[in-house]
């Protein structure tokens, strides 16, 4: 700043040299705003919607993953707000007025670095904590989840001391002089390393639940449905790869603002996708409890393919008067872990029963077609005392359920209690 002649109007000059064959355009330049704003709005609305529906489903008893998702969403919106407040920089560097590079701009860049550190940590840890809720029945899975959380913290919290050294003014410096010191460019090297490790982390998050789901004793259709829920994380992997590309291109370029804006767009997608992935189970539960019973949904389901329960075993569904609180959260403790909804069965008891169904050891009942040698199937299940009747069960033959010294006989009239 001391080398700039006093009284010189920097707003009349571009901040960079235009490549050969082009010229600076300070009035109506090419910009990334038409891409930046729609992506920010779409991803923010999606993250808000999924988080809100998750909280509606878990409001009565929230867990750590819920709080991490809330923090991640709040920080993500703050980061998006800073981006939208600086849309004038979403253009080529030779189309930016030199006077715009001041202390306020440097402060915003530093603030974004710190916010991104926390939002990346909380958004990705919310996914790990979700896995811990629904997959911690296996000790190797618990260890893998904790390793992922520790690695995430080490990867992103390293940004704080590096940003303080490279992107903040030292003693005797001003925020405006930081840009001329050359230190922010050195941080790009660590950005490339961090982005590479971030891709490996996103792949780890994407792959982690797949082996567990594939080992479940479920139909292929249901396995595919569960995999689809978690494969949304693949979008975050793609965004991480693109951010790495832009970081590499930003090293030594004379068009830093264009590359930096592209990088921020990828960061928004990566962060909000992680939030959406962590909230997808809650979104599914909300739609099952509040939307699946709507008359228009039932009508569409009947028109398009009939009952969704056909061919997938029977489901005992209580009447409306006996339906449990739809706001009941999915937690590992207490009776609320055993939901009647298919996706809510992704708990420890579900995995234990799924792995032992073929041996008849599971806690839950699986209906099987009778054979000539076996007129009926007996299973021991837990039946809530709040459940009323009658219940309609597909007629696969007489099935007796034993629980709490009560016997239930499947007949044409429904589920009828019998004396033991």
Is pTM beyond 0.85 here?
no
For the chain, list the domains and their CATH numbers: 10-291 (1.20.1070)
As a whole number, mean pLDDT of residues 311-316 equals 35
Q: Per mean pLDDT, which of 13-27, 31-45, 183-197, 366-380 is the most reliable?
A: 31-45
How high is the pLDDT of residue 6?
64
In this predicted model, what pLDDT tens digit does every residue of 41-56 receive, in sequence order? Answer: 999 999 999 999 988 8
When comparing pLDDT for 323 and 385, which is higher?
Answer: 323
Tokens coding 389: 């009747």
How high is the pLDDT of residue 376?
42
Q: Which of 33-47, 264-278, 406-420 has the lowest mean pLDDT?
A: 406-420
Give the CA distances from residue 193 to residues 108, 152, 189, in Å, rounded to whole numbers and listed in that order: 23, 14, 7
Q: 415: closest CA among 382, 386, 392? A: 392
pLDDT at 358 exceeding the cut of 80: no
In this predicted model, what pLDDT tens digit does every residue of 71-101 receive, in sequence order? Answer: 999 999 999 999 998 899 999 999 999 888 8
Q: In what order do the strands lie in the sheet with 377-380?
A: 377-380, 399-403, 406-411, 414-418
How high is the pLDDT of residue 122?
94
Q: Per mean pLDDT, which of 63-67, 116-120, 298-302 is the most reliable?
A: 116-120
pLDDT at 341 exceeding the cut of 70: no
**Residues whose CB falls within 8 Å of the CB of residue 160, separated by 6 or more in sequence, listed in order:** 114, 117
Judged by phi (left if over 0) then psi (alpha if -120 to 50, else beta), residue 367 lies in beta
**pLDDT class of 153 with cuts at 50, 70, 90:** very high
Euclidean distance between CA atoms 250 and 253, whole angstroms: 5
What are the contacts of 213-221 at 24+ separation with CB within 8 A?
Answer: 215/355, 216/351, 216/354, 216/355, 217/354, 217/355, 217/357, 217/358, 218/354, 219/312, 221/312
pLDDT at 182 exceeding the cut of 60: yes
Euclidean distance between CA atoms 414 and 102, whole angstroms: 76
pLDDT at 214 exceeding the cut of 70: yes
Euclidean distance between CA atoms 213 and 190, whole angstroms: 36
Burial (CB count <10 Å: 0-12, 13-18, 19+), residue 28: exposed
- Give the helix/strand (H/E) hosting 386: none
Label the pairing between strands 399-403 and 377-380: parallel
When comparing pLDDT for 393 and 187, which is higher?
Answer: 187
Buried-state track 68-100, b at ≥16 Cβ within 10 A, e below 16: bbbbbbebbbebbebbeebeebbbbbbbbbbee
As a whole number, mean pLDDT of residues 254-274 equals 89
Whole-number average pLDDT of the chain: 74
pLDDT at 367 exceeding the cut of 60: no
Helix runs in 219-255, H state only: 220-230, 233-250
**pLDDT class of 5 with cuts at 50, 70, 90:** low
- Longest CA–CA span in the chain (Å) reads 100
Euclidean distance between CA atoms 47 and 59, whole angstroms: 17
Give the CA distances from residue 183 to residues 51, 105, 166, 254, 360, in Å, rounded to whole numbers and listed in that order: 38, 15, 5, 16, 65
As a whole number, mean pLDDT of residues 101-118 equals 90
pLDDT at 377 exceeding the cut of 80: no
Burial (CB count <10 Å: 0-12, 13-18, 19+), residue 334: exposed
Give the CA distances from residue 96 to residues 27, 100, 247, 270, in Å, rounded to whole numbers and listed in that order: 9, 7, 20, 27
Euclidean distance between CA atoms 209 and 99, whole angstroms: 51
pLDDT at 404 exceeding the cut of 80: no
As a whole number, mean pLDDT of residues 369-376 equals 42
């Amino acid at each position: 700043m001391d080398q700039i002649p006093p009284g010189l109007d920097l707003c009349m000059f571009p901040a960079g040299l235009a490549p050969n064959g082009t010229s600076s355009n300070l009035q109506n330049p090419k910009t990334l705003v038409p891409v930046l704003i729609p992506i920010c709005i779409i991803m923010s609305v999606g993250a808000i919607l999924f988080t809100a529906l998750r909280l509606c489903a878990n409001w009565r008893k929230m867990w750590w993953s819920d709080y991490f998702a809330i923090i991640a969403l709040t920080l993500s919106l703050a980061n998006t707000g800073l981006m939208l407040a600086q849309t004038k920089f979403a253009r080529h560097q030779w189309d930016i007025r030199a006077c715009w590079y001041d202390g306020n701009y440097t402060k915003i860049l530093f603030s974004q670095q710190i916010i991104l550190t926390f939002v990346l940590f909380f958004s990705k840890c919310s996914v790990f904590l979700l896995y811990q809720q629904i997959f911690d029945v296996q000790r190797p899975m618990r260890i893998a989840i904790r390793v992922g959380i520790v690695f995430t913290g080490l990867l992103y919290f390293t940004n704080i001391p590096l940003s303080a050294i490279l992107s903040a003014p030292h003693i005797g410096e001003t925020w405006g002089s930081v840009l001329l010191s050359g230190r922010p460019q050195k941080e790009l090297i660590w950005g490339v390393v961090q982005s590479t490790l971030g891709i490996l982390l996103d792949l780890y998050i994407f792959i982690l639940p797949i082996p567990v789901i594939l080992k479940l004793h479920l139909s292929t259709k249901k396995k595919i449905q569960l995999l689809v829920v978690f494969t949304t994380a693949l979008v975050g992997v793609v965004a991480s790869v693109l951010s790495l590309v832009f970081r590499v291109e930003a090293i030594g370029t004379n068009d830093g603002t264009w590359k930096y804006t592209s990088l921020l767009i990828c960061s928004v997608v990566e962060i909000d996708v992680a939030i959406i992935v962590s909230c997808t189970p809650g979104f599914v539960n909300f739609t099952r409890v509040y939307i699946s019973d709507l008359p228009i949904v039932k009508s569409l389901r009947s028109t398009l393919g009939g009952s969704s329960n056909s061919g997938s075993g029977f489901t005992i569904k209580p009447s409306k008067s006996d339906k449990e609180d739809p706001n009941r959260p999915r937690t590992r403790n207490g009776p609320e872990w055993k939901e009647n909804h298919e996706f809510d069965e992704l708990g420890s008891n579900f995995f234990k029963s799924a792995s032992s169904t073929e041996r008849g050891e599971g806690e839950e009942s699986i209906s099987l077609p009778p054979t000539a040698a076996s007129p009926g199937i007996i299973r021991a299940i837990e039946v809530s005392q709040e459940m009323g009747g009658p219940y309609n069960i597909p007629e696969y033959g007489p099935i007796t359920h034993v629980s709490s010294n009560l016997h239930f006989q499947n007949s044409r009239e429904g589920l009828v209690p019998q004396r033991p």
